[in-house]
């Protein structure tokens, strides 16, 4: 069972429908006890970093989420769910994140139109289980004003160019995350979600 963390940020139903399309059952995680039934975790999200952290904290979900990841359960962060993994963000002030991936969240350069909305290619600098069977430079759908800068470049599994080259996907042990929206990325996005669902627990 895949657990989708519902912390009041964004339309999560589209993620659930996409997982169902590729054959995976899911349930909402809205309180700490909900983690116990889930062997995989998805953290989606659209919105502001600071508010998202506040919502996770008020729901009592931060420590159970960290525990599930530390136990080795496959985890997928999507969009804001990628950014929250990092140490800090500068979105509307400085905020502390989950600190599960070393690095920070930065604003896209003012030389490009922000937010970055639409299709863009994702390069694959190394092999990743998320991109199995998906060709290099495949298009995925983005909606973002900020991007992640990992302290360790070796965790980067996908890159995109928009004003600058930035990490569009990461893989660190059982932890996976993408800046784009696979649930909005048609067939390639469905293939990526299916790859995640097949990663051994």
Strand duo 86-89 + 138-144: pairing: unpaired
Determine the pLDDT at residue 10.
80
What would the mean pLDDT of 84-95 be, rounded to a whole number?
Answer: 94
Is 79 part of the annotated catalytic residue set? Answer: yes
Determine the pLDDT at residue 152.
96
Catalytic entry in 91, 95, 171, 183 = 183
Q: Where are the alpha helices (DSSP H) in 6-118?
A: 13-21, 49-58, 62-70, 80-83
Catalytic entry in 38, 79, 91, 191 = 79
Determine the pLDDT at residue 179.
98
Is 95 part of the annotated catalytic residue set? Answer: no
Burial of 127 (0-12, 13-18, 19+ CB in 10 A): exposed
Architecture of domain 2-198: 3-Layer(aba) Sandwich (3.40)
Catalytic entry in 38, 171, 181, 191 = 181
The residues spanned by each domain of the chain are: 2-198
Residues 96, 86: Cα–Cα separation, whole Å: 8
Residues 198, 176: Cα–Cα separation, whole Å: 13
Is 183 part of the annotated catalytic residue set? Answer: yes
Contact 132, 124 (CB under 8 A): no
Determine the pLDDT at residue 52.
95
HSE, CB side, 13 Å, CA atoms: give it for residue 146.
25
Q: Report pLDDT digits (tens) over 92-124.
A: 889 999 999 999 999 999 899 999 999 999 999
Q: Report pLDDT digits (tens) over 141-194.
A: 999 999 999 999 999 999 999 988 999 999 999 999 999 999 999 999 999 999
Determine the pLDDT at residue 11.
79
Residues 23, 191: Cα–Cα separation, whole Å: 11
Share of the chain above pLDDT 70, in %: 100
Determine the pLDDT at residue 9.
85
Residues 56, 96: Cα–Cα separation, whole Å: 12
Report the chain's mean pLDDT, rounded to a whole number. Answer: 96
The contacts of residue 195 (CB under 8 Å, 6+ apart) are 129, 130, 131, 132, 133, 134
Residues 140, 95: Cα–Cα separation, whole Å: 28
């Amino acid at each position: 069972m895949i657990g989708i963390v519902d912390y009041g940020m964004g339309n999560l139903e589209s993620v659930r429908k996409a997982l169902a399309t590729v054959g995976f059952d899911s349930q909402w995680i809205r309180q700490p006890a909900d983690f116990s039934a889930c062997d995989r975790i998805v953290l989606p999200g659209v919105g502001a970093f600071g508010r998202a952290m506040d919502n996770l904290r008020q729901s009592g979900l931060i420590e159970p989420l960290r525990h599930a990841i530390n136990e080795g359960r496959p985890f997928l962060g999507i969009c804001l769910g990628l950014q929250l993994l990092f140490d800090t963000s500068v979105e509307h002030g400085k905020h502390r994140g989950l600190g599960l991936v070393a690095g920070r969240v930065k604003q896209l350069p003012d030389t490009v139109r922000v937010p970055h909305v639409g299709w863009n290619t994702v390069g694959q600098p190394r092999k990743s289980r998320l991109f199995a069977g998906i060709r290099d430079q495949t298009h995925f759908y983005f909606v973002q004003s900020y991007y992640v800068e990992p302290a360790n470049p070796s965790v980067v599994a996908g890159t995109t160019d928009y004003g600058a080259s930035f990490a569009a996907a990461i893989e660190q042990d059982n932890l996976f995350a993408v800046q784009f929206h696979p649930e909005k990325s048609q067939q390639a996005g469905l293939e990526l979600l299916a790859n995640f669902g097949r990663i051994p627990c």
